[in-house]
Structure 1
Amino acid sequence: MIPRQGSRGFTLLELLLALSLGTALFVLLLRLIGADLRLGTAMARHLQASGLQRRTLELIRDEVAIGHGWMVDPPLSSTWPCRLSGRRPVLAIAMDPGDPDARGDAVIVYSVGQAPSAIWHGQVLMRCGPSYGLDGVLNLQGAFQNRVLLDALPAAPDAGFEAVPDSNLPVLQLQIEQVLPDASGGERRLRTRRAA
């Protein structure tokens, strides 16, 4: 039998070249998929953090509205219901009508500082106050508790949570700032502001 001239097949060099190009294309696609997953994860983390910041500011705004007075950057008080453990008090809201300066024992205190345990990232925003009932109403007769509201606040001394009184109106400008990882492995600051 005489072999036909037109059916030679591929040479070893052609096969190696096709395999190399296919492998490079596969690695490139894997990197693109990995980058897309990191971007999606970072976007989901930022959306979740933004929602938590908005809800936290709404909680603070609602408590300022039902309080009988508030004090920004208050000095420490030995009568407050919770220990701050070295955290900086940022806002104290009086729940007792006879205590408009928020110095008594029926005070909701928002503080920024070291986390109470290692599960939290960076500085934390904590709320010392009464719990809410199933009906959504504050239970002022119950025990006051310290709870972490947000973590990943910047480590700067006066950063993370700010309450600034308006010079002309009885209104507070509230701002929360967190430092979150971005898709490139760096960090991005996320800020949310509200008036209370």
Structure 2
Amino acid sequence: MIPASRTVKDSQSTITELMIPSYANFGGKIHGGILLSLMDKVAYVCASKHAGTYCVTVSVDKVEFLQPVEVGELVSLHASVNYVGRSSMIVGIRVEAQNVKLGTVKHTNSSYFTMVAKGDDDKPTTVPELILENKEQVRRFIECMRMKEIKQAVKEKMDDARSQIEVENAAEILKDERCKIAFGVKV
């Protein structure tokens, strides 16, 4: 039986992986897609531990690539459930790369994954409440609430803008932008 509530610690997860040459791009750095895939994996592990069920990724927000990751480094992805809704969770992820030869650790990436718990019927299912045990966890929960509010406000604003934009006025709207219209709109 899934408990009614869980602490942040109950589901915190870390995955560590060696960065091998096949993960590198032509510039010799680790592909961003490799890191995103690993972030998705640790987000799933963390969310499913909290929810006690299968979870899916519904959005990825604020992916920041702060520093490149090198072949040979150990990458550790640290994930915590920062926020829970009815069936959704926001998982915060911090990625660090360790150069074992030099003994250095650098923060390379941060991201937020919104995950939704699925029941056996493949429909969203209720997740346990989150027990916040310190000020940092409270801060993160509130921060995620605000991120959700801002995201919703932007979506509503874009929906409004989409209905108001007239392509016929595009030449005027885009006159100072770095683009050219190459179809039947008068320029």
Same fold (TM over 0.5): no
Alignment TM class, shorter chain as reference: under 0.3
- The structure that has the greater radius of gyration is 1
Relative contact order higher in (CA < 8 Å, ≥ 6 apart): 2
Query: Taking structure 1 as the reference length, what is the TM-score of the superposition?
Result: 0.24
Query: Taking structure 2 as the reference length, what is the TM-score of the superposition?
Result: 0.25
